[in-house]
Amino acid sequence: MNFCTIRCCICESVLLNLPEEEISRLNGLTFRCESCGQKLLLDGTNVSKDMSADATYNLHKYDLNI
């Protein structure tokens, strides 16, 4: 099983370290970097700054301890 490490595009800290399957299931969700507080949108195996301001705030907290 291939693990995929997703890093914050701002501060490079590790956001997620999950199998590729799991990453693909999380596609399109929004995360918050715990180091720099930036909201990040997961797009495939990349993250980008989430530009959607306050309106649709669907922050997803993912439990890393699986």
Number of residues that bind Zn ion (CB under 5 A): 6
Which of residues 8 and 18 has its CB atom nearest to Zn ion in the complex? 8
**Closest separation between CB of residue 9 and Zn ion, Å?**
8
Which of residues 22 and 39 has its CB atom nearest to Zn ion in the complex? 39
- Binders of Zn ion among residues 14 to 53 (CB under 5 A) are 33, 35-36
Q: Which residues contact 22 (CB under 8 A, 6 or more apart)?
A: none
